[in-house]
Amino acid sequence: MAKPPTPPKPRTLAAQALGAVEPVTRAIVPPVHVSTTYLRDPDNAYSSGYVYGRPDNATVRQAEGVLAALEGATAAMLLGSGLSAATAAVMALPEPGHIVASQVMYWAFRDWLVREAPRYGHTVTLVDTTDLAAVRDAVVPGKTRLVWIETPGNPLWTITDIAGVAEIAHAAGARVAVDSTVATPVFSRPLALGADLVMHSATKYLNGHSDVIAGALATRDPDDAWWTRIAELRARLGLILGPFEAWLLLRGLRTLDVRVRAQSESAALLATWLGHHRGIERVRYPGLPHHPGHAIATRQMTGYGAMLSVDVLGGEQAAIAIAVAAAVTLWKRATSLGGVESLIEHRASIEGPGSPCPTNLLRLSVGLEDPEDLYADLDRALGSVAS
Ligand SMILES: *Cc1c(COP(=O)(O)O)cnc(C)c1O
């Protein structure tokens, strides 16, 4: 008797978009379900399970299925942007309360937490979540509702111990959400480490081609009141991802594993090479042994990702770093990350005052180009500024 098939690995499931075949034509590539409304049965029921496009869509569900498989989650939810996913999660908390969040994180969400969350009755404490003692001090048992961490944390790529934070938060009755955008499900599975919610800007690696704005959430427990409230808010506020975007995301997810592994390999090479460059003061990459979060990253991730930052030699002067960014020709001077093309950005210019980002820091999102070409371009740009 033939052995039963072993369950496919996440990479296999994603490559085949869970193996779905369209039943009428047997198309291997699924159609885009654009209909906003669905036929009722004669007895007035909706036997297909679909009623209207604002709460639900079949193409969105397909992409959610793939994402859930990648995260080892029971359910995933797609929203119109990473920021709408993050803010919906906060707004769906059962009651207003205290939120503890990483000091080093995606600046626009940190800004939302500080400026907007108090309008909904929350109080927010920003801490260095890489320091578990600081997290323990910040969390107030019975008052703290949520600990929000981002790891690796943008743009310094600080590493937070997910399991350590989960233990502290849960002991105090708080939930834990992890922005895992930079780690991707290829290198990190926060739910398995104790997180209650995983969030992604699917705009970045999940889609991977800089042509979709999307956000994602994933959970182990789709019956949890927090999760069902997020779904309710998505429907009520109209936050669902559009079907065309969901279809593009589904296509992008098929190659996620190979893209992210190749990009991460190039990032590791660049981190090493740039570490020896005389125009660079410091390389920030969790894959480097001297990175303060290296040991934890090695423990909780299966790869170090494709984001790094460099502090350009010349002290806290923005001008030299900006001049290097101005002198590259291959790297694209643009914000965002996680696409197949490499991007360079003077981050302090974006984040403004209050940012923990050094003024001489350049953020590098490593794409799929040949790493030798990428290094040569940076080397030439650094040389032109030094002379
Ligand atoms: C881009 C980004 C976000 C915001 O996502 P959008 O899709 O732009 O709304 C949140 N977190 C991280 C780490 C990001 O890089």
Q: Last residue of a domain, which of 253, 280, 305?
A: 253
pLDDT for the residue 387? 55
Spot the catalytic one: 11, 38, 50, 54: 54
Residue 321 inside a domain? The answer is yes
Residue 327 inside a domain? The answer is yes
pLDDT for the residue 355? 80
Closest C-alpha to 146, from 235, 61, 236, 229: 229
* Domain tally, the chain: 2
- Residue 364's CATH number: 3.90.1150.10
- CA contacts within 13 A on the Cβ side of 178: 29
- Residue 243's CATH number: 3.40.640.10
Exposed / middle / buried, residue 209 (Cβ in 10 Å: 0-12, 13-18, 19+):
middle
Full-model pTM: 0.97
Q: Last residue of a domain, which of 192, 220, 253?
A: 253
pLDDT for the residue 31? 95
Spot the catalytic one: 110, 145, 161, 179: 179
Sheet containing strand 98-102, strands side by side: 75-79, 215-219, 197-201, 175-179, 144-150, 98-102, 123-127
Query: Both 34 and 149 in a single domain?
Result: yes
150 Cβ below 6 A of ligand 1: yes
**Ligand 1 centroid to residue 201 C-alpha, Å:** 4
Query: Both 214 and 279 in a single domain?
Result: no
Query: Both 262 and 249 in a single domain?
Result: no
Domain that holds residue 89: 10-253
Length of the chain: 387
> Average pLDDT per run of 10 along the chain, which is 387 residues long?
86 94 94 96 94 96 97 98 98 96 96 96 97 98 97 97 98 98 98 98 98 98 97 97 98 98 98 97 97 98 98 84 95 97 93 84 97 98 84
Q: H-helix or E-strand containing 217?
A: strand 215-219
Residue 201 inside a domain? The answer is yes
